[in-house]
Amino acid sequence: MSKIIVLMGAPGAGKGTQARLLEERMGLSHISTGDMFREMKRAETPLGERLRDIMSSGALVPDDLTIRLVEERTGQDDCRNGYILDGFPRTTAQAEMLERLAASRGHRLVAVFVDVPFDIIEKRVTGRRTCPVCGEIYNVYFKPPARDEVCDLHPETRLNRRADDNAETIKARLATYEQETRPLLDYYERTGRLRRVDGTRDSEAIYADIEKAVNGE
């Protein structure tokens, strides 16, 4: 049966890095609602402007919009044999919608919680930098580029800092996570579909655990 792999964890837990590895090695499509919204907010439209406001405050995009987006994206051909969700679901309404979607398309869901303590999360998020050319992710504390603020592979390009990776917004994003998203862990646990992995180790070790959790089903 095809699988939906739901990556859960606080902002900065490393979901994006793991989703990229899973996509590359398992050949499943990676759906990141955060990336989709970041793309959409660039538009000079009322919707773009609204998304800029919401995301810079660290709040969640409303469920109706988020749900519509995911419904449409996961209905595309490349998702027929399963997919990886990164950053969705984040609320009870989103989780309920995903159950209906999975059932109607015959997909089984496994939720993987990438567990990282709060103090590490803070450094990871404030230190995060990305190359705008290749998407490589760095961290000034844990995985610095060879030269400050430029990509190792694209030395002519300055690394980006995500607009919502500043101290104020991070605090709000973590609070939103605790309040809205953490309870979903209990829900997946109660229904026997939660796997926990220790997210403090290097990404290959975490990947190995995720692979086991997903295939050992």
Residue 20 bears catalytic tag: no
Tell me which of 3, 15, 124, 129 is the catalytic residue: 15
Tell me which of 3, 124, 129, 173 is the catalytic residue: 173
Q: Is 14 in the site for ligand ADP (CB under 6 A)?
A: no
Q: Is 34 in the site for ligand ADP (CB under 6 A)?
A: yes
Q: Least distance in Å: CB of 54 to ligand ADP?
A: 5
Q: Is 101 in the site for ligand ADP (CB under 6 A)?
A: no
Q: Is 181 in the site for ligand ADP (CB under 6 A)?
A: no
Closest-by-Cβ residue to ligand ADP is 34
Q: Is 83 in the site for ligand ADP (CB under 6 A)?
A: no
What are the beta bridge partners of residue 139? 128, 143
Residue 190 bears catalytic tag: no
Residue 173 bears catalytic tag: yes
Binding to ligand ADP, residues 39-78 (CB under 6 A):
54-55, 58-61, 66
Cβ proximity to ligand ADP, 70 vs 213, nearer residue: 70
Q: What are phi and psi of 129, to 5 degrees?
A: -140, 150
Q: Least distance in Å: CB of 146 to ligand ADP?
A: 25
Q: Is 199 in the site for ligand ADP (CB under 6 A)?
A: no
Tell me the C-alpha distance between 59 and 173, whole Å.
Answer: 7
Instruction: Give the interface with ligand ADP as residue ranges (CB under 6 A).
Output: 11-12, 33-34, 37, 54-55, 58-61, 66, 87-88, 90, 94, 164, 173
The catalytic site residues sit at: 15, 90, 128, 162, 173
